[in-house]
Chain A
Amino acid sequence: MIGGLFIYNHKGEVLISRVYRDDIGRNAVDAFRVNVIHARQQVRSPVTNIARTSFFHVKRSNIWLAAVTKQNVNAAMVFEFLYKMCDVMTAYFGKISEENIKNNFVLIYELLDEILDFGYPQNSETGALKTFITQQGIKGQTKEEQSQITSQVTGQIGWRREGIKYRRNELFLDVLESVNLLMSPQGQVLSAHVSGRVVMKSYLSGMPECKFGMNDKIVIDKQGKGGASDEAGKSGKQSIAIDDCTFHQCVRLSKFDSERSISFIPPDGEYELMRYRTTKDIILPFRVIPLVREVGRTKLEVKVVIKSNFKPSLLAQKIEVRIPTPLNTSGVQVICMKGKAKYKASENAIVWKIKRMAGMKESQISAEIELLPTNDKKKWARPPISMNFEVPFAPSGLKVRYLKVFESKLNYSDHDVIKWVRYIGRSGIYETRC
């Protein structure tokens, strides 16, 4: 199991050092600093073995978090734990920075004592932790409160406490998708997938039982077989094939496995209900058509056309096209029909920004790039043209069909809950080779 956990600043100074196991000595702290943080070359692996001691690290801005062990631990678990640790810290004091860590070091030690016991991760849900790790002590609690805390921390529903009350029962569902594309210069899709998340903000009283439904092809087909063929015909077209999905720990996985229904008692506040991935019938919101021509050894001509491919009534926002330029670029002239384009020498790219663009439109940029003659034998690698954007629909085609709330003990029904649904499609890694 995890033998120790260290946090360093960018210089390699230790900010937090907590040792859980006897086999980890103080020199482990220095070994990581010397061999990884101060190493000259780029990090070649997130797992490093130094003198039979293994170090797992992740970096958040310029802070290093390292977990150390001498055993054959579950590596995936260690990384998941490190991410979780970051989440917990962020939930407590915001951004993970040197200053915040120094200011909250007592709190961090207290957290580390609670969520890692002898190197075994324990309950790390912030919702539960915040009930008893408060920095104010727990003196004022009554006995009932104490046992409520412990039963929540160890219980089946560790993510939600009892007795939550809201005057207005409300929930927000965000379907956030990032669409990833790799396209060949000829316009052939090399790979494309959507990775989506359903993020829920729930402000519901009591211990509500929720059921979430979407246009999952498997569910719709099954329903179609069973009952109204008319409805199935209608919605059959709109259903989507989900390659795979993963759920927050509140979702009853065995129920999903057997009936493919998504039922759960949600945590209070914001959390990620599910993640999913689709690869079939993706709506690619933009198409990029590049044309790069080398004119002699000192000049490049670039023409890029982008086409929007969605309903004309919808508007895409924050569009940015990034056209890489060679390292020996000396000057660039750009002409674009829409938006603003600039050559950024420090980033070796022409950045073309368009604030808004409606569907089924087309826009173009052309640039002349002057090059310094070099005797560098190596050819320019021609990195792909990448794109960023945001569209108000789900490129996978996912639709939320319902989210039902049942709370039998309190007197509010599904109809009383105010529900909001929003779809946002963003670009993930959206690249076209040129």
Chain B
Amino acid sequence: MCDFPFFSLVCTGEIFELKAELNSDKKEKKKEAVKKVIASMTVGKDVSALFPDVVNCMQTDNLELKKLVYLYLMNYAKSQPDMAIMAVNTFVKDCEDPNPLIRALAVRTMGCIRVDKITEYLCEPLRKCLKDEDPYVRKTAAVCVAKLHDINAQLVEDQGFLDTLKDLISDSNPMVVANAVAALSEIAESHPNSNLLDLNPQTINKLLTALNECTEWGQIFILDCLANYTPRDDRESQSICERVTPRLSHANSAVVLSAVKVLMKFMEMLPKDLDYYGTLLKKLAPPLVTLLSAEPELQYVALRNINLIVQRRPEILKHEMKVFFVKYNDPIYVKLEKLDIMIRLASQANIAQVLAELKEYATEVDVDFVRKAVRAIGRCAIKVEQSAERCVSTLLDLIQTKVNYVVQEAIVVIKDIFRKYPNKYESVIATLCENLDSLDEPEARAAMIWIVGEYAERIDNADELLESFLEGFHDESTQVQLQLLTAIVKLFLKKPTETQELVQQVLSLATQDSDNPDLRDRGYIYWRLLSTDPVAAKEVVLAEKPLISEETDLIEPTLLEELICHIGTLASVYHKPPSAFVEGSRGVQHKRLPGSAGSGESADSPDTGSAAGVSEAPPAVIPSQGDLLGDLLNLDLTPPTTSGPPPAPSSGMQMGAMDLLGGGLDSLVGLLHAAMGAGFGAPPTAMPASFPPPVSGGLDDLFDLGGSVGMPMGAYSPPKSIWLPAMKAKGLEISGTFARRAGVIQMEMTLTNKAMSIMTDFAIQFNRNSFGLAPAGPLQVLTPVGPNQSIEVALPLSTVGPVMKMEPLTNLQVAVKNNIDVFYFSSQYPISMLFVEDGKMERQVFLATWKDIPNDNEAQFQIKDCHLNSDAASSKLQGSNVFTIAKRTVEGQDMLYQSMKLTNGIWVLAELRVQAGNPNYTVMSRLVFVLTCSGANHKDYKTESREV
């Protein structure tokens, strides 16, 4: 607590005085003294010196005094662990008190004292309190388990508190249920793969019953927990929705938003032609509108969420435009959010009203708001074609106001309007040119220059205008310089006779006097183009440009899906996945919407339409590349469906698992073994000759035994190899490898530009693959890659993508896009990359499982020429998440029993035999396949694996 030494400014005199008072006989005086201590503590003064004296006051029957002392203890126990022990007896005694309030207080406080020695003493009282007859004590004890877990997770597991906590879900008291759910949800978050919150129809039913009875806060805990459940089918989904909808009328906005989250998520599973689906959609709108009459802070949270909902399901609020009109007295943060939503809802039907409003806003005081309003007018023009003309004239009116930032903003958006409707509104150019002098922001200047260059042939004095910019060329920002260069070249190509001098001037400014490589390169390219082949230059520079897309600022669909699962939470306020702002393991799990049931997701549904702009690229920019591209672009849109009759709704992962069961499993085993054996025995000749040898991966690599034992430990990562040769990709060469670093699978790539032009706008997509690998974020290439430059990128991968069995299993098909084209390649990742950190099986479980698997389920093979002893091998393997569970020595032969777990939950158990002096290892492995089906509990599928 006292990390600031200057807070310890309590003068010794004061401390002394307090000490005397604390030891006084009079109760009242004691109490006043403790109050003073707490007051100093609040302000940040260090009063830890009084610890023994304060703790002495603990033995009292005055509850108020007791609470104050507890408060002090919670703050200082950590810094004085030895003295804190003094308090233990009182706690333990209080936990037996006949008054339930005191029992609860003791257990509540004890959980807040983060001292190991005290936590040991906490276990027994806690166990009693969890079974206390009084619900108040039980609900407090339930939270205490979460506290204890935060201090010492292992202890909680060892003591079996988790099971007791699970039992509390069936408690008769609704508040106990709610707190147990809250505690379990939090604990489960830090164990992503444990099946702690084992949600099945029975527990769901219990939760839904408790939902009707508990406090508003309890309802929130339960709803947030429900949102993590995946119903088995659309029937169940509907029945849950029916029982959750009444919550939409709750006075507490958080209850309403959490209910909305559950409904939005479960709705995905309902067939769209169902009557109930339509009813539900209608029911969602009014409560969302009502949220806007809450206090401004809540309005803000609601608006950020509505922004997401509108992107996912525009139909819900399409008739509610008016409620998003900005009120004069709204706080600025509410105004800005409302504006965003207005633009999203703008359509031909309401555009007149929207425009009238936006025009009104453009005269307000707040600069940010006004700018956004002006920009919004431009976006309306681009979105609703019929309104473009009105928007342009509104913008011209605004330009007439001569308010500096309004004019600049207007010019920027008019440029975009030109890009959407070329050759339509040139008549306004004259007005724009009048304001040339007032532009002082780079973006506005660049926009204006672009317009002049683009329409140079229609502007009589285009050369003069551009020349005027040229005077202060070196003081301009890069974007203005680049734009100016291009504009003058355009002008020259259009009017070659009068502008030769000008173009010479700008080319020399760009190439000789500038030290910006981008500018210089662009200058050289133009120069060479112009000097070698002016006709080609014309074709290149004046080529027809693709139109800009209608919707901008859309959240990328996978992120949107994830955020929908986080409605109401901070993630939905920031519009960022939790992993972006939460530390540690919490929140790293990516949530996804369940797959939709019927195949009713037709191509023309609004969802698909708006999502077609996947990734950062507007659709028009990417030339159509046939089916594969379509497939890749649709990766996130169509849920994996099997071809059979009514596809069972299930998450992508489970689907994949089914698939694998069907036939993939054998090859998985094969692969493991092939990989294990390959390095030393079989040469990698089986690889297609057209590609450079892909990174073959597996255990043999892990052993990579030429390396000395002294090598730093860590997950194995094969050396980089070339995935995409420059010849096949218009100059882009990609080499790379996969690695697992700190629990995150990474694709590490070197992008080399072997072409003459700058490459920008990189994006990456994966095809469906066996383990659901997908990029966890966009490709982080921030700077353009110049010719002969190469750049290192590490792309974190998640394993929650769609699943499809590949041949071979670890094959990954990748598409990389840049400003030039889209390229495809495939590579293979080492299977060891998929071994997760918690792949260490309990010894007992291991033994039981090992025995359980019939002998014919095993595969055996040998690794040759391995000169490590068993211990070194074991620690080396550990670095790659292959865990040694036990070791046994029989007749000079070391037998290592190992376990590893794949990201999709498949366990592999192995026995490694090492004979001293014999460089050949024998590996015998057995496979356990754990498949979680909703509804049923775990089933272990033991599958036969053949010897390779």
Contact = CB atoms under 8 A, between A and B. Distances in A.
Interface centre among A154, A383, A433 (most CB of B within 10 A): A154
Interface residues of B, number: 116
A382 B359 CA distance: 13
Interface string A281-295: 000000000000000
A92 B214 CA distance: 24
Interface stretch (A201-209, A242-250, A361-369, A389-397): A242-250
Contacts of A337: none
A156 to B, nearest CB: 5
Contacts of B573: 47, 75
A177 B23 CA distance: 58
Nearest to A157: B213
Interface centre among A150, A252, A377, A431 (most CB of B within 10 A): A150
A398 to B, nearest CB: 16
Contact of B286 (A76, A82, A244): A244
A274 B250 CA distance: 9
Contact of A383 (B214, B224, B328, B581): B328
A253 interface: yes
A139 B245 CA distance: 44
Contacts of B328: 383-384, 386, 429, 431
A249 B252 contact: yes
A417 to B, nearest CB: 25
Interface stretch (A117-125, A214-222, A403-411): A117-125
Interface in B111-147: 111-112, 114, 134-137, 139-140, 143-144, 146-147
Contacts of A245: 249, 290
Given A120-B179, A150-B136, A182 B98 contact: no
B61 interface: yes
Interface in B285-317: 286-287, 289-290, 293, 295-298, 300-302
B186 interface: yes
A205 B402 CA distance: 69
Nearest to A20: B112
A75 B287 contact: no
Interface stretch (A21-29, A300-308, A351-359): A21-29
A37 to B, nearest CB: 15
A249 B300 contact: no
Contacts of A147: 100, 134
B67 interface: yes
B249 A246 contact: yes
B64 A277 contact: no
A429 B111 CA distance: 49
A412 interface: no
Dominant secondary structure of chain B at its interface with chain A: helix
B236 interface: no
Nearest to B257: A76
A133 to B, nearest CB: 10
Nearest to B220: A77
B948 interface: no
A122 B140 CA distance: 10
B333 interface: yes
B367 to A, nearest CB: 11
B3 A26 contact: yes
Contacts of A272: 251
A109 B251 contact: no
Contact of A72 (B71, B215, B356, B566): B566
A54 B258 CA distance: 20
Interface in B66-105: 67-68, 70-71, 75, 98-101, 104
Contact of B251 (A52, A58, A243, A275): A275
Interface in B718-740: none
Contact of A277 (B139, B289, B300, B401): B289
A366 B365 CA distance: 27
B1 interface: yes
A74 B565 CA distance: 12
Contacts of B569: 72-75
Interface in A43-76: 43-47, 49, 52, 54, 56-58, 69-76
18 contacts: A26-B1, A71-B586, A76-B258, A77-B217, A106-B64, A109-B68, A117-B143, A123-B217, A139-B63, A150-B101, A150-B136, A190-B357, A253-B249, A256-B246, A256-B249, A257-B246, A378-B403, A382-B363
Given A105-B39, A150-B104, A150-B136, 18 more contacts: A26-B4, A27-B3, A46-B296, A71-B570, A72-B566, A73-B569, A73-B570, A74-B569, A76-B256, A77-B254, A83-B295, A113-B67, A117-B143, A125-B215, A138-B99, A154-B176, A155-B173, A155-B175
Interface of A: 1, 13-17, 19-23, 25-27, 29, 42-47, 49, 52, 54, 56-58, 69-77, 79-83, 105-106, 109-110, 113, 117-118, 120-125, 132, 135-139, 141, 143, 146-147, 149-151, 153-156, 158, 182, 184, 190-191, 193, 195, 243-249, 252-254, 256-257, 272, 274-275, 277, 377-379, 381-384, 386, 429, 431, 433
Q: What are the 5 tightest A-B residue pairs by CB atom distance, in nearest-first order?
A: A244-B286, A150-B136, A76-B254, A257-B246, A253-B246
